């Protein structure tokens, strides 16, 4: 190894510290949903940072669930509010009773064919358990203590403000077009 003139001991120490800081920052805990990139159903990577400045409703979805008809209400509120800076992002998951067994292609055909879904739907992930996706680990553990806790079932919804902060959680039985959710969306859109 060639000696760098003038580097000396402290030069190597400083260089080592800089390398450690760069490596540590690569593994830093996420600060918002914007820190995640996941593939859409078509396999194309789509960073959640694309939604900066928008109000976002994050929903774990499934095609064979008693709550699956909520796709209709999800699409309805997406159409109603999308021009005001609102987006829904769906995450198919097969964690509950095998209710999302399909491939990403099958899920895409189901969403568009049966429910005419136009909001972004990402590739299938796990929302709980040992194989929980880091996005859902963040949503259920780190994002906001008031919304923390394991996902109990399909169609759990997280409302995210324009700065990427998770501000509310709605459990499966709360329908997307309920006054509780639409009121919360409208309140965030006014901010």
The DSSP output letter for 34 is G
Give all strands of the β-sheet with 86-92 in edge-to-edge order. 86-92, 55-61, 157-160, 166-170
* Residues facing residue 91 across a β-bridge: 60
Would residue 65 show up in a list of annotated catalytic residues for this protein? yes
Helix (H) or strand (E) holding 92: strand 86-92
Q: 3-state SS of the chain: helix, strand, coil percent to 5? A: 40, 20, 40
Two structure tokens written together for 146: 């008031």
Residue closest to 62 by CA, chosen among 134, 139, 115, 131: 115
For residues 48 and 33, give the distance between their C-alpha atoms in angstroms, rounded to a whole number: 6
The DSSP output letter for 119 is S
Choice among 65, 73, 147, 189 that is catalytic:
65
Give the contacts of 2 (CB within 8 A, at least 6 positions apart).
none
Supply the residues annotated as catalytic. 65
């Amino acid at each position: 190894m060639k000696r760098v003139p003038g580097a000396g001991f402290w030069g190597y120490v400083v260089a080592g510290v800089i390398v450690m800081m760069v490596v540590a920052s690569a593994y830093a805990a996420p600060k918002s949903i914007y820190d995640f990139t996941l593939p859409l159903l078509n396999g194309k990577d789509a960073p959640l940072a694309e939604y900066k400045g928008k109000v976002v409703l994050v929903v774990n979805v499934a095609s064979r669930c008693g709550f699956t008809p909520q796709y209709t209400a999800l699409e309805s509120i997406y159409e109603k509010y999308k021009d005001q800076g609102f987006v829904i992002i769906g995450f198919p998951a097969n964690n509950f009773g095998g209710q999302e067994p399909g491939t990403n292609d099958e899920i895409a055909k189901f969403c568009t064919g049966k429910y005419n879904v136009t909001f972004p739907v990402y590739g299938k992930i796990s929302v709980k358990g040992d194989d929980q996706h880091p996005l859902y680990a963040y949503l259920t553990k780190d994002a906001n203590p008031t919304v923390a806790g394991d996902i109990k079932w399909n169609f759990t919804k997280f409302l995210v403000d324009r700065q990427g902060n998770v501000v509310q959680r709605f459990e499966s039985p709360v329908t997307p077009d309920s006054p509780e959710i639409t009121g919360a969306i409208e309140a965030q859109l006014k901010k």
